[in-house]
Amino acid sequence: MGLYLRKTLDNKAEVSVWQITETEEELKNLCSVPTDEMEEISLIRSEAQRKQKLAVRALLNEIFEEKMYLNHHDNGKPYLENCITNISITHTDRYVAIITHNEDDLGIDIESLDRDFSAVEKKALSEEEIEDLDSGRKNEQLAIYWCAKEAIFKRMSQNRVDFSEQIEVEKFSPKGEGELEATFIHKDGHEEEFDLEYITFDRHILVWVVG
C-alpha cells in the first residue's frame, strides 16, 4: 500500500502514515538504509518488527527529498542527523506514522483498537480519569488515553514519568476524530498544558501533540 495518509496541520507540522502491506524484501527495495543500520535490523528476530523499521525508512524516503540519517538519543527519542527538523515516530504491525515540524517539539502514538487496553486503567489513569470512563466504549477510550499520554511522554522526553500522576487528560467523548486537552505536571509541581488531536482509521487510533 505504501503512503496511506499525509496531511499538513494548521501549525505547519506534517503527519504521514504508511500502511505496511509489502513483504520484507519489497520494503528493502523501497528504502535506503545505511549498512550499519541494516545489519542491526537483520539481527531483529521478529519479522514484524523488522518490517516496521524498514517501513519507517520507506516513509522517511517519501517525506524527504534527501536521504535522511536517523538516530536516537540515549532515552530513545529519534532525531535526524543531517536535518534540523524535529521528528516523532510510532508504529503497529500494520502502520507506521511520523510527525515532523521544523521548530516545535512533538510526539505521536498509534495503537490498534483490536488490542485489549484494560491494563491501562490501572497503570496509567488517575482516579478522576477512571470515573470519566464510559462502560459502553471503554476500550476505545482507554486506547485514546494511552495514545495521548504516550504522545505527551514522547514530547516531554523525560525519564520515569508517572502516567497516572503526571499526565492528566481532560474528559472526552470518543469520535472519529477530535481534540484533547491535557496537562503535564513536572516533579517540582510546574504544569504545562497541551492541545492534542486524534483521528481514527481502519480500527486504529492516532494521536499527536505539537508545541
Fold entry, domain 2-103: Ribosomal Protein L22; Chain A (3.90.470)
0.75 exceeded by the pTM? yes
* Domain spans of the chain, in order of start: 2-103, 110-210
Report pLDDT digits (tens) over 15-24. 999 999 999 9
The reply to whether 110-210 shares the fold of 2-103 is yes
Look at residue 153 and tell me whether its pLDDT is greater than 90: yes
Percent of the chain at pLDDT above 70?
A: 100
Cα first-last separation, the chain:
31
Look at residue 74 and tell me whether its pLDDT is greater than 90: no
Q: Name the band, by pLDDT with cuts 50, 70 and 90, for residue 66.
A: confident
- How far is residue 160 CA from its own chain's centroid? 18
In angstroms, the CA 82 to CA 69 distance is: 6
Query: Do residues 18 and 62 make contact, with C-beta atoms less than 8 angstroms apart?
Result: yes
In angstroms, the CA 90 to CA 109 distance is: 5
Report pLDDT digits (tens) over 94-146. 999 999 999 999 999 999 999 999 999 999 999 999 999 988 899 999 999 99
Report pLDDT digits (tens) over 52-64. 999 999 999 999 9
Burial class (CB in 10 A: 0-12, 13-18, 19+), 163: buried
Please identify, in words, the CATH class of the domain defined by 110-210. Answer: alpha beta
